[in-house]
């Protein structure tokens, strides 16, 4: 049976006159789009345009929910209660779902962003609150979270389908967490090195943690960061490398295979 992998990317992260990423260049090479919902990035017009772009490309649409932190791009931790996390998740999912419905489609998944993602990876109560909000909105949605962390576990407890996520261009600690972005070597900027890591993840092979030890990471979906300066080129290179290795690119929602 041919191996398949979902490629997801965080998109729709422009806001007003401020531009982030190259969504048009990335979209043809992915299978799932995580669209910002206005809390860390994005605005109503950007959300509408990004949904339309994903729909034309037959890419699964997901809500990229965040802490309310436009100035910090959602990467600064905030003390929030479980009830607050539940409410802000429901609010953002509902906002993006309105644009999807107006375009004649529906959401397929939800993925937290930045600090909220990392907090929910560690904190079971916070992860449960997010998972409950997703289930309350639509139990058919898939919850995406850091592989092996509290977030996919919470999704399973809530009765959701989950996707364990791995990263092509992020370095890992030996325990499976991501190296903090406060560290200089958190991101793999070299395209060849990032593609090599993604291929290993897609094949189910061990990668190398920052400490030098081998690390096995479950990868139902692999993230391609849309805020890289070379995001379009990287997505193209990775897409070609996966296909060249006999690995199909598909999302569970539509079954689209590249």
At a CB cut-off of 8 Å and minimum separation 6, what does 196 contact?
A: none
Q: Is the pLDDT of residue 42 over 70?
A: yes
* pLDDT 10s digits, 53-93: 999 999 999 999 999 999 999 999 999 999 999 999 999 99
CB 48 within 8 A of CB 56: no
Q: Is the pLDDT of residue 256 over 60?
A: no
User: DSSP state, 58?
Assistant: T
Q: How far apart are CA 250 and CA 120, in angstroms?
A: 26
SS3 readout for 172-207: ECCCCCECCCCCCCCECCCHHHHHHHHHHHHHCCCE
Q: What is the pTM of this model?
A: 0.95
Per the prediction, the chain carries an average pLDDT of 94
Domain 4-249: give its CATH architecture: Alpha-Beta Barrel (3.20)
Q: Is the pLDDT of residue 143 over 90?
A: yes
Q: How many whole angstroms from its chain centre is CA 21? A: 15
Q: Phi/psi at 207 (nearest 5 deg)?
A: -110, 180
* pLDDT 10s digits, 149-185: 999 999 999 999 999 999 999 999 999 999 998 898 8
Q: Where are the domains of the chain?
A: 4-249
205 or 255: whose pLDDT is higher?
A: 205
């Amino acid at each position: 049976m041919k191996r398949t992998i979902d490629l997801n990317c965080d998109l729709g992260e422009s806001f007003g006159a401020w531009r982030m990423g190259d969504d048009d260049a990335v979209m043809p090479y992915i299978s799932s789009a995580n669209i910002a919902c206005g809390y860390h990035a994005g605005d109503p017009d950007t959300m509408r345009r990004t949904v339309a772009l994903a729909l034309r490309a037959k890419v699964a649409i997901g809500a990229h929910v965040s802490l309310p932190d436009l100035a910090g791009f959602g990467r600064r931790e905030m003390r929030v209660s479980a009830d607050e996390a539940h409410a802000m998740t429901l609010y953002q999912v509902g906002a993006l779902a309105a644009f999807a419905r107006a375009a004649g489609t529906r959401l397929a998944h939800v993925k937290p962003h930045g600090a909220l993602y990392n907090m929910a990876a560690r904190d079971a109560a916070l992860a449960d609150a997010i998972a409950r909000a997703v289930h309350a909105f639509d139990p058919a949605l898939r919850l995406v979270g850091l592989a092996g962390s509290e977030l996919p576990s919470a999704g399973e407890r809530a009765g959701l389908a989950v996707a364990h996520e791995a990263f092509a261009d992020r370095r890992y600690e030996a325990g499976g967490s991501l190296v903090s972005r406060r560290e200089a070597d958190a991101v793999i900027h070299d395209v060849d090195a990032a593609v090599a890591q993604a291929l290993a993840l897609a094949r189910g092979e061990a990668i190398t943690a920052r400490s030098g030890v081998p690390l096995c990471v479950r990868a139902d979906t692999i993230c391609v960061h849309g805020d890289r300066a070379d995001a379009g080129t990287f997505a193209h290179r990775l897409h070609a490398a996966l296909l060249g290795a006999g690995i199909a690119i598909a999302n569970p929602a539509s079954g689209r295979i590249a």
